[in-house]
Amino acid sequence: MTAFYSIYRGYFRTALVVQFQYRIAMIIWLLGGIIEPVMYLVVWRTVAQQQGGAVGGYAVNDFVVYFIAIMLVEHGTFSWIMWEYDFRIRMGQFSSQLLKPIHPIHSDIADNIGYKFLTLTVMAPTAALLAWFFNASWQPDARTLAIFVPVLLLAFLMRFFWEWSLAMLAFWTTRVDAINQAYFIVVLFFAGRLAPLELFPQFLQRVADFLPFRWMLAFPVELLLGRLTPGELWLGIAAQLFWLVAGYLVMQVVYRAGIRRYAAFGA
C-alpha cells in the first residue's frame, strides 16, 4: 500500500502539471459537463411548469435538484480514456506504458482523479450558483450523505473499469469513434442523463435495471434526492458491486487478449 501511495502521488503531480498545460481543453470539457445538464434542466423544468407543476412524480424543484446532482455525479464518474487509446496505440505510445512495472490503468485512474480535483474548484461553485439561480430546495440528512460517498466511489470504479475495457477495443480496430458514440447514446438514455428513469416506460425501466448504466449515475442521484427505500438502496449497492466485479474481470480479459495481439506502430 505504501508503494501504491507513492506511485499515485507521483501520478497526481504529473496529472496536475499536464492539466495546467492544456487549460483550453480543460475549459472545453468543463463547459460540456455544465451545458448539457443545464439544458435538460431548463427543458424539464419548463415542461413541469406547463403541466401544472409536476411530471411523473417530479415537481419543478425536483427537476432542478436532479439535474444539478446529475452534473456533479457525472463529473465525479466520467472518463475520457476511450477517446485516447486509439491515438496511443496508433502512435506507439502504449509501448512505454507496457515497460513500467505497474498496470497502465493506474496512471489513467490517477490522471482522471487529478483532473477532477482540479476542476472541482469550478464545478462546485457552478452547482451552487445554479441552485441559487433556479431557487433549488434540497435538505439531505447526514446518513444520506455518508452513504453517498461510498456509493459514488463504487460508481466511479465500476464506470472506469467498463470504459477502460471499451478503450481496449482499440487493440482490434483503430477506428473506434463510432463505437464510442454508440456507447454514449446508450449511457444518455439508460443512466438517467436525458431524464429521470422514472419518466421512462416501465419496459425501459426494467431494461435499465439489468444494465450497468443506471448504477453509474441515476442510482447515486436517486440516493441524494431521497427517492430510494431501504430495500432499493441495498439492492442498488449489490448491483453496483456485481457490475464492479464484472467490469474488473472483463477489463482483465480484454486487456490480456489485447496486449497479445499488440504490435507497436507509428512515431
- Distance of alpha carbon 44 from alpha carbon 47, whole angstroms: 5
Task: Report pTM.
Answer: 0.90
| 3-class secondary-structure state, position 156 | helix
- For residue 59, how far is the Cα from the chain centroid? 26
**pLDDT tens profile 130-172:** 999 999 988 888 889 999 999 999 999 999 999 999 998 888 8
Q: How confident is the model at residue 59 (pLDDT cuts 50, 70, 90)?
A: very high
Can you give the pLDDT at residue 267? 46
Q: What percentage of residues in the chain have a pLDDT greater than 90?
A: 55
| Average pLDDT along the chain | 87
Q: How far is CA 146 from CA 116, 151, 152, 229, 233, in A?
A: 20, 9, 11, 16, 13
Q: Is the pLDDT of residue 110 over 60?
A: yes
Q: Which helix (H) or strand (E) holds 221?
A: helix 218-224
CA distance 148 to 176: 34
Q: Which residue in 153, 126, 131, 145 sits closest to 215, CA to CA?
A: 153
Diameter of the chain measured on Cα atoms: 62
Residue 20 confidence (pLDDT): 67
Q: Which residues contact 263 (CB under 8 A, 6 or more apart)?
A: none
In degrees and rounded to multiples of 5, residue 102 shows phi and psi of: -150, 145
What pLDDT was estimated at residue 262?
Answer: 72
Query: Over the stretch 240-257, which tens digit does the pLDDT of each residue have?
Result: 999 999 999 999 999 988
**73 neighbors 219 (Cβ within 8 angstroms):** no
CB 89 within 8 A of CB 262: yes
Q: What percent of the chain has pLDDT over 70?
A: 91
The 3-state DSSP class for residue 54 equals: strand
